[in-house]
Amino acid sequence: MAQPKEIFVRLDRCMGCHSCELACAVEHSQSKSLYSAISEKPTPQSRVYVEWVPPDNRLPVLCRHCEDAPCMHACICGAISRTEEGVVMTNADKCIGCWTCVMVCPYGVIGRHLQEHKAYRCDRCPDLEIPACVNSCPTKALVYRTVDEFSKDVRRVASREMLSGEGG
């Protein structure tokens, strides 16, 4: 099987504009349009969180779909499983809202939908070619790549920075 793509964060790029949060919430609304999504019930929720680290770092945080997903193993009702594409998915129909997953996620990226009494998290936008958050990011802080592609990218950037460092 080809290596699946994942959402990667380039820490140095996020400006904290929150575009990804908006795009995510809209993509996970019924209407998929910002104007109607605002008044929908249950209220559409973003699954990506732009956090601020003082003094001036910002970063989007979202489900890593961990290889050894603690949430999946801890779930007391079998609602969390991994798809063939490697996406760790919460089945809302099965979720009983016991929040065990929230208690064990070391990234803090599992949300609680209070109106629906269900846990939710990034599903990598199964209906889209490129996840909504990635697509909306104006600075390309979020990228959608395979692990190999991403590490190649990182190496390329690093070597470029080294070069420019030497030159400057």
Instruction: Write out the residues near other proteins by the rule CB under 8 A.
Output: 11, 49, 51-53, 57, 59, 61, 70, 72-82, 94, 96-112, 117
> Binder to ligand FAD among 1, 2, 53, 76 (CB under 6 A)?
76
Binds 78, which of other proteins, ligand FAD, none (CB < 5 to 8 A, cut-off by type)?
A: other proteins
Binds 94, which of ligand FAD, other proteins, none (CB < 5 to 8 A, cut-off by type)?
A: other proteins
Residue 24 CB, shortest distance to ligand FAD, in Å, is 30
Query: Does the bond joining 44 to the residue before it have cis omega, within 30 degrees of 0?
Result: no
**104 vs 100: CA distance, rounded Å:** 6
| Of 111, 109, 115, 72, nearest in space to 94 by CA | 72
Q: Does 102 bind ligand FAD (CB under 6 A)?
A: no
For ligand FAD, the closer CB: 31 or 91: 91
Residue 127 CB, shortest distance to other proteins, in Å, is 24
**22 vs 26: CA distance, rounded Å:** 6
Q: Which helix (H) or strand (E) holds 49?
A: strand 49-53
123 backbone dihedrals φ, ψ, rounded to 5°: -115, 15
For other proteins, the closer CB: 43 or 81: 81
Rg (CA), the chain: 17
Q: Which two tokens stand for residue 51?
A: 């956090």
Q: Which two tokens stand for residue 14?
A: 């996020």
From residue 79 to residue 98, the character string flagging contacts with ligand FAD as x (rule: CB under 6 A) and all else as - is -------------------x
Q: CB–CB of 97/117 below 8 Å?
A: yes
Q: Whose CB is nearest to ligand FAD?
A: 76
Residue 98 CB, shortest distance to ligand FAD, in Å, is 6
For other proteins, the closer CB: 110 or 133: 110
